[in-house]
Amino acid sequence: QHQDSRSLIAEAVRTAITGIRLATHGEKCPVVAFTSSVPGEGKSTLAINTAIEAGRTKKVLLVDADLRKPSLAEYLNLPDEGPGLTDIIAGAPLDICLNHSEDLHISVIRAGTIRQNPLDQLMSIEFRHTLNMLQEKYDMIVVDTPPIELVSDALPIGKIASGVVYVAKANDTPIGMIKRGLSRLESADINVLGVVLNAHDFEKASKYYGEESAYGSYGAYGYHTGTDGRS
């Protein structure tokens, strides 16, 4: 589905990318992180689709920074095991941790060897140096992060990224939970690029969210897509 440039999802993602580009205008290699409140809201699917669409015209890297429950390798039919982000942070050579998709025209770094201290790794100076090094090699970096309601891993990533896209599943995620997640990002002085309202149904939204449906409570950018609910 994400490979079909004429699909509704592709069109919605192109609209989101336009907003991201406007918000990161002037940056040589923007780093865009995706998070959500809880699993199952479609953040990984949106991150993948964003990388693929941007990869049609730019040199793009997709990074799985959900070190607790990585999923990008499975979604992209890559081997489940192999070196990745955690190994680069620990000093492994980049070339053995990169995966290239000729069909999708993107590069991918899987989560890598599971460690006991993922938050410490993401808060380390080595992680910052890793991102800086990767920015020298790509035009855009898309990072999939864990849900913010469960763990704090998205915060150190968002702090050094160009900004965060917050994914919420329409008619499912309580508006209070969304506000709480956005408040955590804002309290950490993290740039929120926008909110993607996933699997949106306008008729149901007016009943579920009431006056806070559609764009009203989501700030400068609000995007609506019809992707599935994978996290």
Q: What is the pLDDT of residue 15?
A: 85
Token pair recorded at residue 58: 């730019």
User: What's the 3-state SS for 176-215?
Assistant: HHHHHHHHHHHHCCCCEEEEEEECCCHHHHHHHCHHHCCC
Q: What is the pLDDT of residue 81?
A: 83
Secondary structure letter of residue 138 according to DSSP: -
**pLDDT per residue of the chain (231 residues) written in tens, 0 to 9:** 455 555 566 777 888 888 898 999 999 999 999 999 999 999 999 999 999 999 999 999 999 999 999 999 999 988 878 999 999 999 999 999 999 988 899 999 999 998 889 999 999 999 999 999 999 999 999 999 999 999 999 999 999 999 999 999 988 889 999 999 999 999 999 999 999 887 655 455 455 545 444 333 333 344 445 445 555
Rounded to 5 degrees, φ, ψ at 101 are: -105, 105
> Which are the contacts of 76, defined by CB distance < 8 A and separation ≥ 6?
48, 101, 104, 108
User: Which helix (H) or strand (E) covers residue 122, if one does?
Assistant: helix 118-122
User: Which helix (H) or strand (E) covers residue 135, if one does?
Assistant: helix 125-135
Contact between residue 76 and residue 212 where contact means Cβ atoms under 8 Å apart: no
Q: What is the pLDDT of residue 7?
A: 59
CA angle, 12 then 21 then 35, to 5°: 65
d(CA 131, CA 106): 17
* Cα end-to-end distance, the chain, whole Å: 16
Q: What is the pLDDT of residue 216?
A: 35
In the chain, % helix, strand, coil (3-state, to 5) comes to 35, 20, 45
Q: What is the pLDDT of residue 79?
A: 83
